[in-house]
A and B are shown apart, each in its own frame.
Chain A
Amino acid sequence: DIQMTQSPSSLSASVGDRVTITCRASHYIRSYLNWFQQKPGKAPKVLIYAASSLQSGVPSRFSGGGSGTDFTLTISSLQPEDFATYYCQQSYSTPRTFGQGTKVEI
C-alpha cells in the first residue's frame, strides 16, 4: 500500500494568513494526488485534483502543487469558512489511501 503522510497534523492560524499543508507519498504517484476539505458532520469536498487542478466552484485562494512523492496545498489568504480538516489522497493505485488529516484551527 502507498502510505500518505501529512504535516502538520494540526495548525493554528488567523484570518488572512497564508497556510501551506504538505503531503508525502511513500512511493511515486506521479500527479495522482487529490485534496479534500471536510467540515464537522459533513462529507468531504474535493478542492484540488491531479495535484494542481482546481475543482469547479472552489475559490482561487486554494492551490496545489508537486509531483512524484511531495505535494502541497496552499491557502493564500485564510477565510473564516476555511477552518476545517484537510485530507490528501492518492489515486495512483489501489487501495486508494488518504493522509491522516490536517486540522486548521483559529
Chain B
Amino acid sequence: QVQLQESGPGLVKPSGTLSLTCAVSGGFIRSSNWWSWVRQPPGKGLEWIGETFHSGSTHYNPSLESRGTISVDSSKNQFSLKLTSVTAADTAVYYCARVDGDKLYFDSWGQGTLVTVSS
C-alpha cells in the first residue's frame, strides 16, 4: 500500500519561498499516476495547488499566479513543491496526494504538514 510523507520547514518568512517534499513509499513514482499538492488554510476548505507526472508534465492552479513549481525526483521516489513570494494567505496545512491515473481521484494522501508564513 502506497504511503506518502510530507517534509519541510514549518515556518517561512513573508516574501520567502515555501519548499516541501513528499516521499513516496510502497509504490513507484514512475507509474501511471499523477502526483499532487493540496492545501487547507486553518478552519477552511481544500484547495488544489497542482500536479505532476513522472515525465515532468505539470498542471497548476491559476490562483497561484505562477508562484508554484512542482517537480519529480524519480531517483529518490519523491516529488516537491516550491511556492515563491509567500504571504500570510499561504499559511495552511499542505498535503501531498496520489491521483489514480485511470479514474483521476486522490486515492492516497500524506498526513499533511502545517506551514506558517510569519516574520
Tally B residues with Cβ within 8 Å of A: 24
Given A95-B62, A98-B46: A36 and B103 interface contact (C-beta under 8 Å):
no
Q: Could you tell me if A97 and B109 are in contact, using CB atoms closer than 8 angstroms? A: no
Which residue of chain B is the closest to A87 with respect to CB atoms?
B46
Tally A residues with Cβ within 8 Å of B: 25
Enumerate chain A residues within 8 angstroms of B73, measured Cβ to Cβ.
none
Which residues of A from 33 to 58 have beta carbons under 8 Å from B? 34, 36, 38, 42-46, 49-50, 53, 55
List the interface of chain B (C-beta within 8 A of A): 36, 38, 45-48, 51, 59-63, 95, 99-100, 103-107, 109-112
User: What are 7 A-B contacts defined by CB distance under 8 Å?
Assistant: A44-B46, A44-B95, A44-B109, A87-B45, A91-B103, A96-B51, A101-B45
Q: Which 4 A-B pairs have the closest CB atoms?
A: A91-B104, A43-B109, A49-B105, A96-B48
